[in-house]
Amino acid sequence: MAETGILTVDDLLTLAPRRYEDRSRFMTLAQLACRPAGEKGTLLVEIRSSRLLRTRRRGLTITRATVTDSSGEEEVVWFNQPYLVRHLTPGRRLILFGGMSGADGRPGCIQNPEMELLPKDESGEASVHMGRVVPVYPRTAGFSSRQLRRLLHQALAAGAGHAPDPLPVELLRRRDLPERAAALRALHFPTGDVDPEELVACRTPAQRRLIYEELLLLLVALHLKRQKRRRGARSWTCLPAAGTDADLKSFLPFSLTPGQEKAWQIIAGDLRGATPMARLLQGDVACGKTAIAAMALLLAVKSGTQAALMVPTEILARQHHTRLERLLAPAGMRVGLLLGGRPTDASRRLKAELAGLEPCLVIGTHALIQKDVRFGNLGLVVIDEQHRFGVAQRMRLAGKGRHPDLLVMTATPIPRSLALTRYGDLDLVEIRDRPPGRATVRTEILPRSEAATAWEAVRSAATAGRQAFIVYPLVDESKSSDLAAACAAYADLGAGALAGLRLGLVHGRLPARERQATMAAFMAGRIQVLVATTVIEVGLDVEDATVLVVEHAERFGLAQLHQLRGRIGRGSRPSTCYLLHGDRLGDESRQRLAVLERTFDGFELAREDLRLRGAGELLGVRQHGSMGLRLADIVRDEEILQEAREDCLTLSAAAMPEELAQAARRRWGQPLGLGSGRESEVGVGPGHDHP
Ligand code: ADP
Ligand code: MG
């Protein structure tokens, strides 16, 4: 069961039921038929007959069965589950969970219900699966819900879960939580007196206790990780002469905003302190995080150590490189650039330099974490747009130095609860304001059929000497149909709506040279309209861009759209973002897009996004599940998280109880790179992402 994260009995014991069924009282078929269509109930029925139908539409199969109970009979259908039919033999009993189709009083049938077949002779296990509130599990590692229920019942009966409770008794008493073994039993096999509403809301004492435990252990593990890092002495000392604030600021073409100033004070404090920094810098798109990063990098290099900045795309690496080089050349500082691809003379020379002890600054993509890149004297690591990297990659870069300082920057803010659980091993600092004189960005949501409005805006911007982006969703750059769509649209626009304008196209599959040339032409204003895939999503900074059109906006996440929208309104001219969507837009998508129309505040947006989509998806598919919470849900359980946080603080202020620390290591040590001792090579999340 490794791929599902179930490796131990304890993993099995903390497998969360998807829902519960009250099998002490079944609904009858007659009762279900009186309910509004779609309202679900749990039924105990017997098969009268069944058959498999294949429709003319290729691939569609329908399994039909007639079922009965004491109240009458109904038709049941399942779509595309042809294998069911061989189990549906006359006389067989089964439990259904589903609702009636057919609205407005028209006769319906029970459509696509979940089902559990009962064995021909139920007597042996009746008390496990019947006559009580039973858990229904997600299919896990090929085991059906029924098999899992049986396994869990056996495990609990054999005394599993009776290991000493890792939570201190005082804590349980103070938070009024049951002890572990009892909670596990009640999670899987709730007794008759359980409150059904609490059960559905995951708020029974047993559920609360286990959720609390999971979150507390996570917070404790993160605390241990921070502590471990603080114990490692940093390898470099900040030289006071080299890094006065005035000196560092003299390189910037502007003065810091109050928010930047505050963030810098905190970060500078870390850099000048005795132990390595590990910080997450949060701020809305275009709030000016790069300036802070530049000052940190400069401070490190001027103090005689090496500093590295890792970014997710080549385009962004080049942009940072050009800017920092321009800033730092007067100081006589060289800035290296390391990208993927075949080694060149220049990249070989750069690698040789990094392997030495000379202070230097390097900017790069994932190329920086390849095996053949060694640092002789790495003192500071900055990671920009962290959402594109996995924890493992972050650690791999840091692992190339001896306890280097680490500064991680978000693309757009993420909610505190998420930052706490996901990046809780990092200290948090935020920039809440933006540079002065910024234009407003208006956001307009349009159905595809009204795209002409957007093209008109693109044309008039270009005519007035401004620039525009048109973005196509290419979730998977290797999917050629998507790519073809973007290329075709590019050709169409050039010949039609945007004829006569200078257009350019970039996507991840263009040869690097070509992509680079197009980007450079756009940055220099020679190209007026850049048609692009999401390769432009992160970081790109072009002051003259005032219009952004996003095609199929409904396919993007909120945070990503906000990040895209951050490509415009960077200068002082009012800008407009057009979000085009298909003509049939679902309610949920409409709601999501409406949030963007309403607000431009990334912090508020992040909260909405978390609420609408849940924690797993917020950071994109790639990171889904990597957080690895089994029972807790940080949206639903924010309050419990808060309690756990308070308790973790109290506990860590004294001495962390050893059993608790051990349990935290057992549960989270591996994914957090805590327990194994080989910190540079372990981590959660698949993380990857090359442009
Ligand atoms: P992000 O936080 O999204 O990485 P950037 O660091 O790219 O934002 O900054 C966005 C733009 O704002 C850049 O063009 C940068 O030069 C400019 N900028 C940053 N800080 C200031 C400031 N204090 N005053 C004026 N402009 C600033
Ligand atoms: Mg940035």
Please report which confidence band the pLDDT of residue 680 belongs to, taking 50, 70 and 90 as the band edges. Answer: very low
- Asked whether residue 641 is assigned to any structural domain, the reply reads no
- Asked whether residue 326 is assigned to any structural domain, the reply reads yes
Q: How many domains does the chain fold into?
A: 3
**Model confidence at 474: pLDDT above 90:** no
User: 409 CA to middle of ligand 2, Å?
Assistant: 8
Q: What tokens appear for 187 in the block?
A: 């999670």
Residue with structure tokens 């030495």? 356
Residues 486 and 385 in one domain: no
Best mutation site among 248, 287, 363 for ligand 1 pocket (most ligand atoms within 8 Å of CB): 287
Residues 445 and 495 in one domain: yes
Average pLDDT over residues 198-212: 95
CA-nearest residue for atom 9, ligand 1, is 288
User: 480 CA to middle of ligand 2, Å?
Assistant: 30
- Asked whether residue 233 is assigned to any structural domain, the reply reads no
**Model confidence at 666: pLDDT above 80:** yes
User: 499 CA to middle of ligand 2, Å?
Assistant: 33
Ligand nearest, relative to CA of residue 539: 2
Using DSSP, state whether 567 is helix, strand or coil.
coil
The top-scoring range by mean pLDDT among 3-7, 191-195, 258-262 is 258-262
User: 435 CA to middle of ligand 1, Å?
Assistant: 7
Q: Pick the more confident residue, 97 or 474.
A: 97
Structural contact between residues 567 and 470, judged by C-beta atoms closer than 8 angstroms = no
User: 535 CA to middle of ligand 2, Å?
Assistant: 14
User: 295 CA to middle of ligand 2, Å?
Assistant: 14
User: 508 CA to middle of ligand 2, Å?
Assistant: 20
Q: What CATH number does the domain containing 478 carry?
A: 3.40.50.300
Residues 496 and 579 in one domain: yes
Residue with structure tokens 């004491």? 70
**Model confidence at 197: pLDDT above 60:** yes
Residue 609's pLDDT is what?
A: 82
Average model confidence (pLDDT) across the chain: 86
CA-nearest residue for atom 20, ligand 1, is 288
Ligand nearest, relative to CA of residue 249: 1
* Per-residue pLDDT tens over the stretch 511-570: 878 888 998 899 899 999 999 887 666 667 888 999 999 999 998 888 889 989 989 988
**Model confidence at 256: pLDDT above 50:** yes
- Asked whether residue 106 is assigned to any structural domain, the reply reads yes
CA-nearest residue for atom 17, ligand 1, is 288
User: 596 CA to middle of ligand 1, Å?
Assistant: 22
User: 570 CA to middle of ligand 2, Å?
Assistant: 12
The last residue of a domain, from among 159, 180, 210: 159
Residues 254 and 372 in one domain: yes
CA-nearest residue for atom 19, ligand 1, is 288
Residues 145 and 20 in one domain: yes
Residue 622's pLDDT is what?
A: 35
Ligand nearest, relative to CA of residue 258: 1
Ligand nearest, relative to CA of residue 571: 1
User: 297 CA to middle of ligand 1, Å?
Assistant: 16
d(CA 232, CA 93): 64
**Model confidence at 384: pLDDT above 60:** yes
CA-nearest residue for atom 4, ligand 1, is 289
User: 251 CA to middle of ligand 1, Å?
Assistant: 14
What is the number of the ligand 1 atom nearest to the C-alpha of 254? 24
Please list every protein residue whose CB sits less than 6 Å from any atom of ligand 1. 254, 256-257, 260, 283, 285-291, 435, 539, 541, 570
The last residue of a domain, from among 599, 615, 638: 599
**Model confidence at 122: pLDDT above 70:** no
Residue 616's pLDDT is what?
A: 52
CA-nearest residue for atom 14, ligand 1, is 541
CA-nearest residue for atom 23, ligand 1, is 256
Ligand nearest, relative to CA of residue 570: 1
Ligand nearest, relative to CA of residue 385: 2
Best mutation site among 290, 523, 572 for ligand 1 pocket (most ligand atoms within 8 Å of CB): 290
Residues 462 and 574 in one domain: yes
Residue 445's pLDDT is what?
A: 95
**Model confidence at 636: pLDDT above 80:** yes
Taking only Cα atoms into account, the Rg of the chain, rounded to an integer number of angstroms, comes to 29
- Asked whether residue 215 is assigned to any structural domain, the reply reads no
27, with CB counted inside 10 A (0-12, 13-18, 19+), is buried
Partners of 49 in beta bridges:
66
What is the number of the ligand 1 atom nearest to the C-alpha of 411? 3
Spell out the residues 6+ positions from residue 164 whose beta carbon is closer than 8 angstroms to its own: 659
User: 284 CA to middle of ligand 2, Å?
Assistant: 9
Residues 414 and 512 in one domain: no
User: 567 CA to middle of ligand 2, Å?
Assistant: 10
Residues 60 and 140 in one domain: yes
Buried/exposed code over 56-84 (b: 16+ C-beta within 10 A; e: otherwise)? eeeeebbbbbbbebeeeebebbbeeeeeb
Best mutation site among 541, 568, 570, 573 for ligand 1 pocket (most ligand atoms within 8 Å of CB): 541
CA-nearest residue for atom 3, ligand 1, is 286
CA-nearest residue for atom 21, ligand 1, is 435
Ligand nearest, relative to CA of residue 567: 1
CA-nearest residue for atom 25, ligand 1, is 435
d(CA 672, CA 222): 8
User: 606 CA to middle of ligand 2, Å?
Assistant: 17
Q: 681 phi and psi, to 5 degrees?
A: -115, 0
Pick from 108-117, 441-450, 618-627: least confident: 618-627
Ligand nearest, relative to CA of residue 284: 1
Q: Which helix (H) or strand (E) holds 629?
A: none
Ligand nearest, relative to CA of residue 289: 1
What is the number of the ligand 1 atom nearest to the C-alpha of 293? 6
Best mutation site among 248, 254, 433 for ligand 1 pocket (most ligand atoms within 8 Å of CB): 254
Range of the domain at 476: 441-599
- In the 3-class helix/strand/coil scheme, how is 136-188 assigned residue by residue? ECCCECCECHHHHHHHHHHHHHCCCCCCCCCCCHHHHHHHCCCCHHHHHHHHH
User: 183 CA to middle of ligand 1, Å?
Assistant: 51
Residues 400 and 491 in one domain: no
- Asked whether residue 358 is assigned to any structural domain, the reply reads yes
d(CA 129, CA 303): 68
d(CA 261, CA 386): 22
Please report which confidence band the pLDDT of residue 91 belongs to, taking 50, 70 and 90 as the band edges. Answer: very high
CA-nearest residue for atom 18, ligand 1, is 288
The last residue of a domain, from among 128, 159, 190: 159
Residues 400 and 466 in one domain: no
CA-nearest residue for atom 15, ligand 1, is 288
Residue 620's pLDDT is what?
A: 40
CA-nearest residue for atom 26, ligand 1, is 435
Residues 524 and 558 in one domain: yes
* C-alpha dihedral, 501 to 507 to 513 to 518, nearest 10°: 20
- Asked whether residue 191 is assigned to any structural domain, the reply reads no
- Asked whether residue 638 is assigned to any structural domain, the reply reads no
Residues with CB under 5 A from ligand 2 (ion): 539
User: 385 CA to middle of ligand 1, Å?
Assistant: 15
If you count them, how many residues does the chain have? 691
What is the number of the ligand 1 atom nearest to the C-alpha of 283? 2
CA-nearest residue for atom 22, ligand 1, is 435
478, with CB counted inside 10 A (0-12, 13-18, 19+), is exposed
Using DSSP, state whether 659 is helix, strand or coil.
helix
Residues 43 and 145 in one domain: yes
Q: Sheet of 427-431: strands edge to edge?
A: 335-338, 361-364, 306-310, 378-383, 405-409, 278-283, 427-431
Average pLDDT over residues 498-516: 88
Residue 684's pLDDT is what?
A: 33
Average pLDDT over residues 395-413: 90
The top-scoring range by mean pLDDT among 267-271, 322-326, 479-483 is 267-271
Give the start-end residues of each E strand in 360-413.
361-364, 378-383, 405-409
Please report which confidence band the pLDDT of residue 2 belongs to, taking 50, 70 and 90 as the band edges. Answer: very low
Q: What CATH number does the domain containing 149 carry?
A: 2.40.50.140
